[in-house]
Structure 1
Amino acid sequence: MELSDKVGTELAGKVALVTGSTGGIGAETARLMAAAGAEVVVSGRNAERGAATVRSITDAGGRARFVAADLTDPAALRRLAEAAGPVDILVNNAAIFPGAPTVDQDPGTLDETLAANVRAPYLLTAALVPAMIAKGSGSIVNVSTMVARIGLPGLSVYSATKAALESLTRTWAAEFSPAGVRVNTVAPGPTRTDMVLATMGEENAEQFAKTTLLGRLAAPREIAEVILFLASDRASYLTGATLAADAGRTAV
């Protein structure tokens, strides 16, 4: 996707931090937010891919910078929060997506997934939300998954961490929204990302996508559009909500 040469104004004057934005849903979200006028802090582990995301934004007239961070490392999280500075929008998108039956799941991967998918958004939110509260406004969007609501073999760890993130959304909304900070979740269905295809394989992913009402994989941009909506003032009366962007898979 290429951005329009004309940068919009919907998010003008706002700073957005998008974790895991070196590819997939995160990169598309970063591009859309930059196209809407936000200054975007792109974050991830791969500096080369991060630079490519930033370049795609700046070449289209947007503003972005890259901050490398391994979100399984609490010290790296602190450095990311400091480097980002005060933000208006936080998108907790970065995640690890392990696939293994419960009896075969190794403890190391379990711990790493809990660290990336639960501890990282928890600590990053705790570090950045005070500035939002002081300002009296802000939007936090957590990225979950439809498998937080349905049981699928081999995804016990991933689904459990995302269910925890949805629970945090509700608690954080109760804690922060009276001060003007909205907190919401988008729960995508099967999406054509490198992470999904690497874990499931393209054929399996395509077959699984056929179980949705629309019968296909989502494009990363389709999910990014929902994230942009939740982050924007168009969703000004939404907080504590989880929006299912899963082609109806959890509706029937």
Structure 2
Amino acid sequence: MSTLSGNSLPLDEQLVLVTGAGRGLGAHIARAFLGHGASVIVNYLNSGTAAEQLAHEAPGRALAIQADVSDASAVAKMIEQAEQHFKKRVTTVVNNALPAFQFNGDARPHADALSWGDLHQQFEGVVRGALNTVQAALPGMREKGFGRVINIGTNLFQNPVVPYHDYTAAKAALLSLTRTLSQDLGPSGITVNMVSGGLLRTTDASAATPEAVFDFIAASTPLRRVTTPEEFADAVLFFASPWSRAITGQNLVVDGGLVKN
């Protein structure tokens, strides 16, 4: 298929980088793109076995590559390796990778114990990581006159019910970067959006969540259920698809209506 009007590209013609795709939400997002015919770079840091297994599910269309997204040189090498392998430019970047983090409200530092080191670690992985991937993919996107950047956020900065100060602050900064990048890159045919979720049923991060918490969240949503990773991935696909070609700089909250954005 040829490029459609209105600065869009069918999913099955896109080369998509999904960071942190070896497991959890990232793996669901990678599988969603593969299910629609896209070629996918399955980026991972430590989950090598799982990433390779995922890549083997779509021979010829998926490639697992290890890279620390906070390392600009490693990201540049990953993009170069992928573009040589697939013989086409990266068109789409999904910034999903998350620095080591324990989703346990009781174990997270409260205001009196929060350190700059806690914040810095999250900013390095979340914000610096996104900057590195965008800058590495930017020459190819500008060459094609097309690009999609989709950042993964959280509903916690609208509904901070747990003291994830460091994680939430980094994701809030990523939303600001989403908006400023959208303004800067729009003239090059590149859109930049964010998809924000809450508790998902179920990922590696939420596997230890008590059933009572799932029940409470479900009862608090208009849909009376907890969003699944597959449903969340659908929204990511939307921002990469031709149907979103006139949308940029936006933050879509996908949590069953718990938070009204």
Q: Under a length normalisation based on structure 1, what TM-score does the superposition of the two structures give?
A: 0.86
What pairs with 1:151-170 in structure 2 (closer than 5 Å)?
A: 151-170=160-179
Paired residue type of 1:230? F
Tell me by how many angstroms 1:205 deviates: 4.5
1:233 to 226, 234, 242: 242
Tell me by how many angstroms 1:209 deviates: 4.2
CA distance in 2, matches of 1:129, 1:11: 19
CA distance in 1, matches of 2:117, 2:218: 30
- Tell me if 1:219 matches 2:220: no
What pairs with 1:130-141 in structure 2 (closer than 5 Å)?
A: 130-141=139-150
Match of 1:119 in 2: 128
Match of 2:53 in 1: 52
Contact 1:30 1:40 in 2 (8 A): yes
- Tell me if 1:110 matches 2:113: no
Tell me by how many angstroms 1:162 deviates: 0.8
Measured against aligned partners, the alpha-carbon deviations of 1:174-220 in whole angstroms (never above 9, x if no partner) come to: 0111111111111112112111335x555435434432222332211
Query: What count of residue pairs does the alignment treat as equivalent?
Result: 240
CA distance in 1, matches of 2:256, 2:118: 30
Tell me by how many angstroms 1:165 deviates: 0.9
- Tell me if 1:22 matches 2:25: no
Tell me by how many angstroms 1:247 deviates: 0.9
Extract structure 1 runs of 4+ deviating beyond 6 A.
none
After superposition, the Cα gap between the structure-2 partners of 1:127 and 1:105, relative to the gap in structure 1 and judged at 3 Å, is same
Match of 1:182 in 2: 191
Match of 1:89 in 2: 92
What pairs with 1:2-13 in structure 2 (closer than 5 Å)?
A: 10-13=10-13
SS at match of 1:249: coil
Paired residue type of 1:129? L
Unaligned runs of at least 5 residues, structure 1? 1-8
Identical-residue share of aligned pairs (%): 33
Match of 2:64 in 1: 66
Contact 1:145 1:188 in 2 (8 A): yes
Contact 1:140 1:183 in 2 (8 A): yes
Measured against aligned partners, the alpha-carbon deviations of 1:52-80 in whole angstroms (never above 9, x if no partner) come to: 2112333xxx6101001222434433332
Measured against aligned partners, the alpha-carbon deviations of 1:137-174 in whole angstroms (never above 9, x if no partner) come to: 11111110111222223111111111111111111110
Tell me by how many angstroms 1:82 deviates: 2.7
- Tell me if 1:249 matches 2:247: no
Contact 1:117 1:161 in 2 (8 A): yes
Contact 1:31 1:57 in 2 (8 A): no
Match of 1:150 in 2: 159
After superposition, the Cα gap between the structure-2 partners of 1:201 and 1:55, relative to the gap in structure 1 and judged at 3 Å, is farther
Unaligned runs of at least 5 residues, structure 2? 1-8, 84-88
Measured against aligned partners, the alpha-carbon deviations of 1:87-141 in whole angstroms (never above 9, x if no partner) come to: 0111111113445123334554432211111110012111212221221111111
After superposition, the Cα gap between the structure-2 partners of 1:210 and 1:103, relative to the gap in structure 1 and judged at 3 Å, is farther
After superposition, the Cα gap between the structure-2 partners of 1:132 and 1:52, relative to the gap in structure 1 and judged at 3 Å, is same
After superposition, the Cα gap between the structure-2 partners of 1:129 and 1:228, relative to the gap in structure 1 and judged at 3 Å, is same
The RMSD of aligned alpha carbons is 2.2
Q: Under a length normalisation based on structure 2, what TM-score does the superposition of the two structures give?
A: 0.83
Contact 1:10 1:37 in 2 (8 A): no
Contact 1:136 1:181 in 2 (8 A): yes
CA distance in 2, matches of 1:125, 1:247: 29
Contact 2:79 2:90 in 1 (8 A): no
- Tell me if 1:76 matches 2:74: yes
